[in-house]
A and B are shown apart, each in its own frame.
Chain A
Amino acid sequence: MAPEPPLLSMTGITKSFPGVRALDGVDLDVQAGEVHCLLGQNGAGKSTLIKVLAGAHQPDTGTIRWRGDDVTLRSPIAAMRLGIATIYQELDLVEHLSVAENVHLGHEPTAAGFVVRTRAARESTAALLARLGHPEIDPGRLVGELSAAQQQIVSMARALSHDVRLIVMDEPSAALDPDEVDNLFRIVGDLTAAGVAVVYISHRLEEIRRIGDRVTVLKDGRAVAGGLPARSTPTREVVALMTGRTVEYVFPERPSAPPPGEPVLSVRGLSRAGEFAPLDLDVRGGEIVGLAGLVGSGRSEILETVYGARRPDTGRVYVDGSPLRTGSVRAAVRAGLGLAPEERKAQALLMLESVTRNVSVSALSRFSRAGWIDQRAERGAARAATRELSLRPDNPSVPVRTLSGGNQQKAVLARWLLRGCRVLLLDEPTRGVDVGARAELYAVVRRLADEGLAVLMVSSEVPEVLGLADRVLVLREGSVVHEAPARDLDEHRVLDLVMEGSPAS
């Protein structure tokens, strides 16, 4: 790279949200004409970083230099004016508008200042689409009628309709077929040849090998490595950086012998087309079974299907040998299942309510007669459940939104404790939980298992699965590729399995 100042240089970027420090002093340098890959697990801070870059989030501290000058990205428009375009994973297109209208949204070519020159818009859109290798997309078609891959092309055309110098692509290949991925890479190659810089986010290491120039690895909100050569850095090293602990977690000790007895939770032939292949698994009381896999491996979908929140195409779920009604959360809850979902705020918590009311919501009938709630009994039980999990602050009448991520998770666990559940399904149990608070949460989960609960957990953090679970099922693209006691596996082997499908020798 030339010794001139980098196109973009972000230094010491921090950003905190209530309860979580999403970015903790991140540096990122991007040169003109390079593909700079951003790697990191879920919750590592990638999304927050690109939102800061896109002007959608304001950093708490840190400086952003653009072509050598300090800049403040006050809004997405400010970022766009500088020539920074972002293509989000969830495409931000208006389905009911045409391709051309989407491409020119907000900067339509006009006559007399307000009359949209439709033909000019279509022509320039057609030119952009041709440049992107998709002349077959009709600028007049509604975006809602296009395939996911085509929509992504439209999104890219929109980025290019501005005078763009840096394009951020957030997992652009996630929704694409192999052919479409090839085309995407050709486009990326054309862009960089023209001097445009690309910040490329992906979970797929092999893609980064193919198109990346340099790699920055994020981990727990920090850049643990910046500007590594993308092609020559060994996979192991990159993986170790992604997963390596900045803080050594303390995992609770496992019982030496696997718990005896019949399985509490049994899953037989459960599948959903396009999400995961027929799955069999058993979890005994006192046992923690972990599902390890990357995003898109079907992890969360499996848990939600077991819980009845998604209807399976085939297969059944059994609790103590009796089948559950399929596709019914209520049947699952009645049979003793409890879910701590991945998106705690969106899927589990009533953010306007107190801890007590969040904890009691699934067990209201326990404190009520003919629908009449005994509030004293409710408060007492909620207090007992939150105390048992050492939820802080020790005052269940505070609003749940004031709690830290770890304590919010404890509130969800307390809900199921109070309900008296027998099977706990944990989806990314430490997502959004401060590093320091994780060990305590692990201890809580182990204690619940020791008290006889069957626990099925899912995590994208391999060390977490290996450290907490007794037995691990490794998932790759919806299928179990390996099953073993956690003590017989190590992180590298699991990562080889989830990425390659077979253990590298």
Chain B
Amino acid sequence: MTQHVSPPRGGTGKVIPAGEPPAWRGLAARADVRTLSLLGVLAVLVLIGGVTQPDAFLDTRNLQLVLTQASVIGVVTVGMTFVIVSGGIDLSVGAIVALASVWATTVATQDFGFGGILFTAVLVGVGCGLVNGVLIAYGGMVPFIATLAMLASARGLALLITDGRTQVVTVDSVLDLGERDAYLLGVPPLVLVFAAVTVIGWLVLNRTTFGRRAVAVGGNAEAARLAGIDVRRQRLYLYLLSGLCCGIAAFLLIVLAGSGQNTNGNLYELDAIAAAIIGGTLLTGGRGTITGSVLGVLIFTTITNIFALNNLQSDVQQIAKGAIIVAAVLVQRRTASTT
């Protein structure tokens, strides 16, 4: 982490110094400076991985593994980004993933095969999101509290369903998705799902009225209300969306692990929030990018992988992650103070 992450946009009216050669200007002007910095960080990480473990890290299988691991948390992070952009927070994502994954892998559900598992996972996710959304938008609860309550209850319900046991998936069509035979041109299907969610998320945030209103609510809820936006309904939809992403992520996790467990998705909420934050999403709402969040996920997953390959303990990983979050937020604050 020696790369200096420069502030995204200049302060009031300041133009970003145009040091790039003319050919780069167009690209640099289009892409957010922050996005470029995150790509730079990722490149440095890949370099570190390549230098420290030239064979193991750059191996195709390893890169496939990194991307697959990133997929589950990545889908959750896309939903989380929407919630944070709108000025909210969803602490229940990990618990919802756990509940959806165990509900979708009960013996009864597995009887319905592939469709039953997928449908149940998504439905449970959306259902939890609905509860969060109603409590927050119409019940006037603070998002932190409402989703904290959901975290506790969903985890409890997941434990109740499994009684602590691992529910092994016996539906072959689901398990096959995780096999190498299912890879498309070397890309695992889970990664394709992640890519699709990312693209759709980007389009929804940047090109639809829904995304625009989410940003408006997060940037200034009172102004949004006085501009005629139905702020409550918008908030409800945002938590539904987060729940939907958790349901999809739960299905990916079922494919990846071949089972459902009540301990699934542990601390996903922290990983997703952290990835969104270092990706440039303001925790206070009003600004955020899907691209940044996804790069944040990739950076974290890559770090984990490099550390694992170098036989470093997970405690060291956690410390490194913490340092990155602090660095990213300090940069954000400096940026904010210049505006």
Contact = CB atoms under 8 A, between A and B. Distances in A.
Given A364-B212, A373-B212, 14 more contacts: A309-B226, A329-B226, A330-B230, A348-B227, A350-B215, A351-B219, A353-B215, A353-B216, A361-B212, A361-B229, A362-B228, A371-B210, A373-B208, A399-B9
Given A329-B225, A415-B227, A346 B220 contact: yes
Interface of B: 9, 12-13, 207-210, 212-213, 215-216, 219-220, 222-230, 282, 286-287, 339
Contact of A333 (B9, B208, B228): B228
Contacts of B13: 402
A281 B212 CA distance: 36
Interface in A330-385: 330, 332-334, 339, 341, 346-353, 357, 361-362, 364-365, 368, 371-373, 375
A18 B12 contact: yes
11 contacts: A307-B226, A329-B226, A330-B230, A333-B228, A346-B223, A347-B226, A352-B282, A357-B212, A364-B212, A371-B209, A372-B207
A350 B220 contact: yes
**Highest count of chain A CB atoms <10 Å: which of B9, B209, B225, B229:** B209
Interface residues of A, number: 33
A204 B219 CA distance: 37
Contacts of B230: 330
A375 B207 contact: yes
Given A307-B226, A329-B226, A333-B228, A365 B220 contact: no
A351 B339 CA distance: 10
Nearest to B210: A371
B227 A361 contact: yes
B209 A401 contact: no
A362 B12 CA distance: 26
A371 B208 CA distance: 5
A352 B210 contact: no
A347 B224 CA distance: 8
Given A352-B287, A415-B227, A361 B12 contact: no
B310 to A, nearest CB: 40
Interface of A: 18, 307, 309, 329-330, 332-334, 339, 341, 346-353, 357, 361-362, 364-365, 368, 371-373, 375, 399, 401-402, 415, 419
B203 to A, nearest CB: 9
A364 B226 contact: no
Contacts of B222: 346-347
A83 B216 CA distance: 44
Contacts of B12: 18, 401-402
Contact of A368 (B208, B225, B287): B208
Contact of A353 (B213, B219, B225, B339): B219
A343 to B, nearest CB: 9
A346 to B, nearest CB: 6
Nearest to B209: A364
Given A350-B215, A350-B216, A351-B220, A372 B226 contact: no
B140 to A, nearest CB: 16
Contacts of A375: 207
Nearest to A332: B228
Contacts of A307: 226
B224 A361 contact: yes
**Highest count of chain A CB atoms <10 Å: which of B207, B228, B287:** B228
Contacts of A350: 215-216, 219-220, 223-224, 286
Nearest to B233: A330
A415 B226 CA distance: 12
Contact of B223 (A18, A334, A347, A364): A347
Contacts of A361: 212-213, 216, 224, 227, 229
Contacts of A339: 226
Nearest to A360: B212
B211 to A, nearest CB: 8
A346 B223 CA distance: 7
Contacts of B287: 352
Nearest to B204: A371
Contacts of A371: 208-210
A373 B207 contact: yes
A443 to B, nearest CB: 25
A333 B226 CA distance: 9
**Highest count of chain B CB atoms <10 Å: which of A351, A357, A371, A402:** A371
Contacts of A309: 225-226
A60 B339 CA distance: 19
